[in-house]
């Protein structure tokens, strides 16, 4: 099924990709949105498709005000509810007590620990029991994402991970949003192409890659928050089980 989906999705129109995903999976499907450009396009497509798919977001406690405003606007426009998963308050309190309010600047380990508390652990709750996980990953976002498949088995979360906009360029996403009046974060127009937590995001400079503004003080090759990578910081690419291809 996974291999069949990976082969089928590229040949379908974007909205039909959502319908094909829903038809292929029997259990709950969760779309996790960060309200970035791609995620806003996906929200529009999910609503247009009529597919029963749950909307979830990770409210880290340190998002931009503009992101929260777009969240409210998106719910009102599309008549949907985006369920928020927040970090465990005890974990946040312990982290701040040990590392300080902005301790993530001190080291890669400290930053990953913050992401683990604010994003990775809440994601595990958002995906608990789900059969499928829809993401806004695009192959051209970074070299690490360039060989991502449209559909893959995620041993990390025990479900099928689906990337229906994988072959979209940023220009494709922008054009779709403009044509379909999809609301997008106003920070994009100010050079914030990839938007996460406010302390860890800056506008990019001319000529910089799209994700250069995320964790800009770190090695470019290591800049992932942990949602799509394993403990070694690399994209998870497990060997699919044979039955997954049935």
Active centre residues (catalytic): 225
Helix (H) or strand (E) holding 8: helix 2-8
What SS3 class is residue 107?
coil
Write the DSSP symbol of residue 243: G
What ranges in 9-136 are assigned the alpha helix state H? 14-24, 37-49, 65-78, 89-99, 108-115, 121-126
How far is the C-alpha of 166 from the C-alpha of 154, rounded, in Å? 16
CA dihedral 35, 132, 55, 68 (to 10 degrees): -30
Write the DSSP symbol of residue 203: P
Q: What backbone torsions phi and psi does residue 192 show, to the nearest 5 degrees? A: -90, 85
8 A C-beta contact, residue 215 and residue 105: no
What SS3 class is residue 82?
strand
Count of H-run helices and E-run strands, the chain: 8, 6
């Amino acid at each position: 099924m996974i291999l069949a989906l990976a082969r089928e999705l590229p040949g379908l129109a974007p909205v039909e990709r959502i319908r094909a995903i829903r038809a292929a999976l029997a259990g709950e499907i969760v779309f996790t949105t960060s309200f970035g450009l791609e995620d806003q396009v996906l929200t529009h497509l999910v609503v247009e498709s009529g597919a029963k798919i749950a909307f979830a977001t990770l409210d880290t406690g340190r998002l931009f005000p503009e992101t929260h405003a777009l969240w409210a606007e998106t719910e009102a426009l599309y008549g949907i509810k985006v369920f928020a998963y927040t970090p465990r308050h005890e974990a946040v309190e312990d982290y701040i007590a040990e590392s300080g309010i902005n301790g993530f600047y001190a080291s890669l380990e400290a930053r990953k620990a913050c992401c683990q508390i604010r994003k990775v652990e809440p994601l595990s709750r958002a995906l608990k029991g789900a059969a499928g996980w829809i993401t806004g990953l695009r192959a051209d976002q970074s070299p690490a994402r360039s060989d991502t498949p449209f559909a893959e088995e995620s041993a990390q979360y025990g479900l099928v991970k689906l990337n229906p906009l994988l072959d979209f360029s940023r220009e494709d996403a922008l054009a779709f949003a403009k044509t379909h009046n999809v609301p997008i974060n106003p920070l994009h127009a100010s050079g914030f192409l990839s938007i996460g937590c406010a302390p860890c995001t800056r506008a990019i400079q001319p000529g910089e890659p799209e994700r250069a503004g995320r964790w800009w003080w770190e090695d470019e090759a290591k800049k992932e928050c942990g949602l799509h990578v394993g403990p070694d910081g690399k994209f998870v690419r497990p060997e699919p089980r044979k039955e997954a291809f049935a």
